[in-house]
Copies of this chain bind each other. A is one copy, B any other.
């Protein structure tokens, strides 16, 4: 099997797997796909350890690293300290969240501290430096135009730079900035996402970057959890698929058991695009937490990134722990980044098996389309 990028990336099957879990990254790469480790949540030392482990597993086979460096965030360019950022959180905000927690029988006397948000972008450069000391074959930025130092590093090392976009205007900006691979991600995607669906976005992005004479390859992302959807993406003109959610219910993933059960039970209508977690709209499971924030009817307007994230993330981590322990109120509040494809994720499987099923399903879909041409 082959699209324009298989040779470039040294892969058999143009399936890119984004995961925070090194085991998934290695398993996908070893099965002929391309694993991409989400590196943003690690310290530079931790990331170094994770990548060393992956290197031992994949023995030279290709993988990449994704580091979120948002193009826009509250306080950007102002060089604010954590404390100064924290001062921008309205006084009654903590009260609003405490009321929500109390209504779910969660003790609010022992409040988690606010967390410095990894989304504020200050650790990106050192994470990238660590990554470049490993034989990575792709560096990606999942939020906005990659920072200059990433584009520059790409030029110097020859390692392709990928960027995620949710609109054709952003794709044009990214290509003009020097990005080598566009991941066009539809609104059905888990995590940060735009409003345009994958089926519309892919042809729109491809048309737009062809029109400016810079036709870099485009991967389709958003809602893709099966080979037939990947085949559909290639029919649309994509060079392959970028996936995330589908790996959350693999055996290798570190997803907590309670969360896995929620994923397996969820239908595609159990997700919502909400800014209530990070301050930017991201798709996640519907819960009493997402219901508490606009645009849900009567919900409060979230703060901008990274303020919402600073206050919400530690609270949500505590909620996750309580939910795992069986706390009913916490279980009603718990939410997780996942795309609409969760409706098609109904069984826990090894990551390798997911790759093999993708290939089989892709072939069947190609055969189905080919058969439609017979008279």
> Do residues B203 and A373 form an inter-chain contact, with CB atoms below 8 A?
no
Known contacts A203-B344, A233-B232, A370 near B370 by CB under 8 Å: yes
B interface footprint on A282-319 (CB within 8 Å = 1, 0 otherwise): 00000000000011110001000000000000000000
Q: Is A57 an interface residue (CB 8 A)?
A: no
Chain B: CB-nearest residue to A295: B295
Identify A235's interface contact among B201, B231, B339, B344, CB under 8 A. B231
Known contacts A199-B188, A204-B343, A341-B200, A235 near B268 by CB under 8 Å: no
Stretch of A27-35, A107-115, A219-227 that contacts chain B? A219-227
Number of copies: 2
B interface footprint on A337-369 (CB within 8 Å = 1, 0 otherwise): 001110110000000000000000001011011
| CB within 8 Å of B: which A174-232 residues | 186-188, 194-201, 203-204, 207, 222-224, 226, 228-229, 231-232
> Roughly how many angstroms separate A369 CA and B372 CA in the complex, as a whole number?
13
> Do residues A203 and B186 form an inter-chain contact, with CB atoms below 8 A?
no
B interface footprint on A263-274 (CB within 8 Å = 1, 0 otherwise): 000011100000
Known contacts A1-B373, A234-B368, A199 near B201 by CB under 8 Å: no
| CB within 8 Å of B: which A133-188 residues | 167-169, 186-188
> Roughly how many angstroms separate A235 CA and B199 CA in the complex, as a whole number?
13
Interface band, chain A: 35 or more
Q: Is A98 an interface residue (CB 8 A)?
A: no
Q: Is A3 an interface residue (CB 8 A)?
A: yes
Q: Is A10 an interface residue (CB 8 A)?
A: no
Q: Is A236 an interface residue (CB 8 A)?
A: yes
Identify A168's interface contact among B187, B341, B343, CB under 8 A. B343
- Interchain nearest-CB distance for A227 vs B (Å): 10
Identify A297's interface contact among B167, B169, B232, B295, CB under 8 A. B295
Residues of the B chain whose Cβ atoms lie less than 8 Å from the Cβ of A2 = 372-375
Identify A228's interface contact among B203, B267, B341, CB under 8 A. B203
Q: Is A121 an interface residue (CB 8 A)?
A: no
Residues of the B chain whose Cβ atoms lie less than 8 Å from the Cβ of A195 = 269
> Do residues B268 and A201 form an inter-chain contact, with CB atoms below 8 A?
yes
Chain B: CB-nearest residue to A228: B236
9 closest cross-chain pairs (CB), A and B: A232-B232, A295-B295, A197-B197, A235-B365, A188-B197, A200-B223, A196-B268, A200-B340, A232-B235
